[in-house]
Structure 1
């Protein structure tokens, strides 16, 4: 079945049109122009602010003029991840989609349902002529996935709405009222190269499922960079290791699925024998959760320049010591991860090292506790460490009027209570709320699985459910005070 024939057709039509437009984070020029043209062709007031956010205004439908005004908000950019055997250019190609039972997925790449389905839903409301709604502002932000610079650059006074509906949650039975903040932790160092003195080994780690470094961090998924660190450590004190290159992971907000390393060792046969003992143990550890994990350790014929044994040891020790995964569970909210870290990217090339982390927490003090622990480890290893991109969390307000309204509608329509939750992902609500403290905010959306990985897929019945829920919320928004 064609994507555009799925119900509700208006959503899938707009999602398909959106997904035909390349939209990597920090390279949103094409999608900004796409949204701008879409809204101007509808005759709606459309503005692009100085940072690239697109803001559209649509008057209330007849009889809804006295209701509280609404901001519908989603982000235009998407996480760009692909399987290593897929030839795909996210800057020039549209996403190739297919229907698989009750799911829509992409062919070997991220789908962009995060947050493309939210964007498509807002587009559908904007172009509709028969959906009752109060006065609307649509806010399409940029660069949510790699810095939230769109939300950070949104100035006070640009929005007049009283309630913000963020359409960027990935479980259709959840109403999200809080989220974690985050900070980027980057370690770097340059090393002199020398001739490699031993035998060359190549390590390949593939087949991990990856996932969202916030929403999936507690699920026990494998991190390719962490596994690589374990394998390197096993030969550290016996093999005179010299590192030649490392290429592990990708974006900060994606759990690394693959990692590759080339290194020099004293005795390749001994190293492979010892590493294979650990390899077997790791495969057994992850047998239930990472069924496609593959670890290959083999000799490599090309001798290359390497960094010294001393500097190699410092890097290996750092990789072994860096905290990855859950740092602390919330003592206040059941089953909520309070703080975590993702060792997202490790790159060593021509003597230049970069280690990229994303630390998250719903509590500012523990966010910096995690970041400072990483800084301490890396500085002990002789690296330079920088913090950047810090953004605040979003404090829950469970008793707000919009939350109560949505709970009532959900229970009436679906016969059960929704889960009112806070999440460990980074939503833009906390940042926007800093400039609009009086605005009520809530986040919800259709069910999406595997976000930030090539396994990303969107549930078709859930999109139908979400669309009906959104329309009823807009129709039932209360009158202004």
Structure 2
């Protein structure tokens, strides 16, 4: 089956059009222009603010003029991740989508269903001529995935809606009413380079095949972090063989659990056989430990030309200790909501080369105090090893309001349509509602969406039947918005 044959056809057509436009976070110029042109082509009031957010306003359909105005919100950017063996240029190519049974996925890259399905749904409503709806204010934000810049810089007074429907949740039986905040923790230092010891052999050590995933919603699932595994191997072999490191390149975006890491290392020729045996033994241990969550975990050791310079020995020991001490994973569970992660950290990116090392983390929490407690834990570990540490991009969580009128409306429509009770939850991901609420404190908000798996990784896929369910749900909510 082709994408064009899926129902609802208008929504999937809009998703395909959106996915033809390169739209990485921080580089949304093309998709902003795409959305501005889309709104103007419909003759609708279209506005681009200073941050790059796009607002398109559509009057109520006939007979719905007395209903409260609704803000429909999704973000334009997407996470760009691909498999190492996938040849793809995100800057120039559109996402290559595939129908795989009950799912839509991409060919070796992220799909962009997060949050492209939400964007496509809003586009379809703006185009519609026969769907009952109140006045709509469509808010398309930018840079959600790497800093929530659009939500942060949105000004008050641009929107008048009583309710905001955020279409960025990834389980179709959930209604989100709260989320975690976050802060970027970055550590930097320089180190001395020394000539590679004589009679050395060099290897490229690669960890790949890990699950990866969303560093918020997947952080509790026991997936391995490639940066932490690489550090574990390097630490063990440094102590046994006097291994020297020339470079490390691991992970990618802060909000993606690292799937791959590559290091170039040297050992003495006399230790070559023992080093290979040790890597084989450590690999067996890792495969055993992560047998349930990482069945494709792969460790490769390949000979490579001997580099001229490597890291100075004492500084290498300090850096490896700091990376070992850097907390990764679930730090604290919620004391008020069962099975909800309150605080976590993702050691997302490690770059070490030519005398400089950088480590990038994303610390999340529903509690501001716990968020900075964990951030300070990381800071302490890195500063003890001579790093400079900075906090950037801090954003607040979204506090649940269980008595909100919009929650009762949405929950009631779900029960009436589907004959079951939805899960009303808070999530550990970073939704924009917390920031948007600082600009519009009186606006009631909920979040929902179709079922998306593997977000932020090349395994990302969206369930076709779930998109149909989501669309039906959204139309029912809009049809039943109360009067002003």
Deviation at residue 168 of structure 1 after TM alignment: 0.3
Deviation at residue 298 of structure 1 after TM alignment: 4.1
Deviations 1:442-462, CA, capped at 9 Å, x for gaps: 000000000000000000000
Which segment is superposed worse, 52-61 or 193-202? 193-202
Distance 1:376 1:49 in 2: 39
Deviation at residue 300 of structure 1 after TM alignment: 3.0
Helix, strand or coil: the match of 2:184?
strand
Deviation at residue 415 of structure 1 after TM alignment: 1.2
Say if 1:268 and 1:299, in contact at 8 Å, map to a contact too: no
Deviation at residue 389 of structure 1 after TM alignment: 0.3
Q: How does 1:204-283 map to 2 (within 5 A)?
A: 204-266=206-268, 267-283=271-287
Helix, strand or coil: the match of 1:81?
coil
Deviation at residue 227 of structure 1 after TM alignment: 0.6
The residue number in structure 2 matching 1:367 is 371
Distance 1:143 1:166 in 2: 15
Helix, strand or coil: the match of 1:410?
helix
The residue number in structure 2 matching 1:377 is 381
The residue number in structure 2 matching 1:150 is 150
Deviations 1:237-259, CA, capped at 9 Å, x for gaps: 23223210001000000000000
The residue number in structure 2 matching 1:94 is 94
The residue number in structure 1 matching 2:473 is 469
Distance 2:166 2:175 in 1: 10
Aligned partner of 1:403 among 369, 394, 407: 407
Helix, strand or coil: the match of 1:409?
helix
The residue number in structure 2 matching 1:32 is 32
The residue number in structure 1 matching 2:71 is 71
Say if 1:55 and 1:140, in contact at 8 Å, map to a contact too: yes
The residue number in structure 1 matching 2:185 is 185
Contiguous gaps of at least 5 residues in structure 2? none
Say if 2:201 and 2:306, in contact at 8 Å, map to a contact too: no
Deviations 1:52-92, CA, capped at 9 Å, x for gaps: 00001111111111111100000000000000001111111
Distance 2:196 2:181 in 1: 43
The residue number in structure 2 matching 1:347 is 351
Say if 1:234 and 1:275, in contact at 8 Å, map to a contact too: no
Helix, strand or coil: the match of 2:307?
coil
The residue number in structure 1 matching 2:323 is 319
Say if 2:452 and 2:460, in contact at 8 Å, map to a contact too: yes
Distance 2:320 2:39 in 1: 52
Say if 1:451 and 1:457, in contact at 8 Å, map to a contact too: yes
Say if 2:238 and 2:244, in contact at 8 Å, map to a contact too: no
Distance 2:292 2:371 in 1: 31
Say if 2:246 and 2:307, in contact at 8 Å, map to a contact too: no
